[in-house]
Amino acid sequence: MSEKRLAGRKAVVTGAARGIGEAIARRLASEGASVAIADIDLAEAEAVAASLPDAVAAQVDIASDASVAALADFVGDRLGGCDILVNNAAILDMTGIETMTMAHYRKVLDINQDGAVRATLSLLPLIKAAKGPRRIVNIASIMGVRGQPESVPYSAAKGAIVNFTRAVAADLGRHGITVNAIAPGFIDTRMAHLPDGSGHEHDTDWFKDIYLKYGRILLGRAGRPEDIAGPVYFLCSDDAAYVTGQILLVDGGVSATF
């Protein structure tokens, strides 16, 4: 039997207690990686870690310098290093420019933008010290490459993640560390639940009309977390050894047309 392709690799996935992050963690684990399930929600992170062969749960608030620094110490102790970092944790907080306050804007950026910067800075010494192929994958969004109404802080943060990815790739290429981003489209997770608790955005008339009836999603359905986990695995695999500084839109084709 052939060895699993990520055997011996140590991965940290932020926001891995549910949704896309959980699917990424499960995929990397299924390919043989040891995975730190890093999330603000420790109970859910522990449940995911307990269901995987070689995973540890870690509580982290990516909005806190101290918490992210503690995560790096924990990962060094418990995993013994880090070859793969997936910056996935974020919140969805939709606000337009006419109603937004600076406090609100800063709060979202502190998690969705600075959180990935913090985790990258804190884990970089471990990643640089690792010997094999090393990977950083940032989870951006189609809202980081396209505008959408009522999305100023989220879209601004995701746009920053897109070019953060390219700039960090430019710095780390000489170490052989690849840095790429995935920009998901509409994925069926708790993040896609409507804020008023009335259901799921994919069940709304506007979603069905614009994205399905008029074919904006070329593949005719919302994405599943596993649709993102596969491309993340690809970027972490040896097959992507010569891919860096790239933004891969995984959106069922939404961004391919207008």
Give me the catalytic one of 154, 211, 233, 242. 154
The least distance separating ligand NAD from the CB of residue 66, rounded to whole angstroms, comes to 13
Angstrom distance (rounded) from CA 136 to CA 134: 7
Q: Which residue lies nearer to ligand NAD by CB, 39 or 83?
A: 39
Query: Does 90 contact ligand NAD by CB under 6 A?
Result: yes
110 interacts with ligand NAD by CB under 6 A: no
Sheet of 134-139, strand order:
55-59, 34-39, 10-14, 84-87, 134-139, 177-184, 247-250
How many helices and strands, by DSSP H and E, does the chain display? 8, 7
Neighbours of 237 (CB within 10 A): 17
Q: Could you say whether residue 159 binds ligand NAD (CB under 6 A)?
A: no
CA distance 11 to 25: 8
Q: Is 154 a catalytic residue?
A: yes
Give least dist CB 20 to ligand NAD, A: 4
> What is each CA distance from 183 to 13, 95, 237, 243, 246, in whole angstroms?
16, 20, 18, 15, 10
Q: How far is CA 161 from the centre of its chain?
A: 10
Nearer to ligand NAD, 134 or 146 (CB): 146
Q: Within 186-215, which residues bind ligand NAD (CB under 6 A)? A: 186-187, 189-192
Report in angstroms how near the CB of residue 92 gets to ligand NAD at its nearest.
6
66 CB neighbour count, 10 Å cutoff = 8
Identify the residue among 12, 19, 135, 137 touching ligand NAD (CB under 6 A): 19
**Greatest Cα-to-Cα distance within the chain, rounded to the nearest angstrom:** 59
Q: Which stretch binds ligand NAD (CB under 6 A): 78-86, 88-96, 97-105, 122-130?
A: 88-96
17 binds ligand NAD, rule: CB under 6 A: yes
What residues are labeled active site?
Answer: 154
Question: Which residues bind to ligand NAD, rule: CB under 6 A?
Answer: 14-15, 17-21, 39-41, 60-63, 88-91, 111, 139, 141, 184, 186-187, 189-192
